[in-house]
Amino acid sequence: MDDRYFTVQELQSLKFYELPNPIYSHILSDLVHLFGVMTERMLNAFNNSSIEQLDQYVDIYKYIYIL
């Protein structure tokens, strides 16, 4: 499941924590860099949000390609 390609429907339904580990790690490091710190409450909020919602904070499309 190290695939970087997702359909629009998958992006709308997948939660952040459901991403493959390499992609999850890259996006999480971008979020930590943006906010300077990642508390447990922030991590829980991001993990339970859809991938599309994270686009307002970081450029997820440099790690994820849409089919």
Q: How far apart are CA 45 and CA 8, in angstroms?
A: 22
Sorting pLDDT into bands at 50, 70 and 90, what band is 29? very high
- Residues 21, 4: contact at Cβ < 8 Å? no
pLDDT of residue 11: 83
Q: What is the mean pLDDT of residues 9-22?
A: 90
Residue for token pair 């829980």: 44
pLDDT of residue 41: 95
**Is the pLDDT at 44 greater than 70, yes or no?**
yes
For residue 53, give its domain range: 5-66
Q: What is the mean pLDDT of residues 1-23?
A: 84
What's the total number of domains in the chain? 1
**Is the pLDDT at 2 greater than 60, yes or no?**
no
> What's the chain's average pLDDT?
89
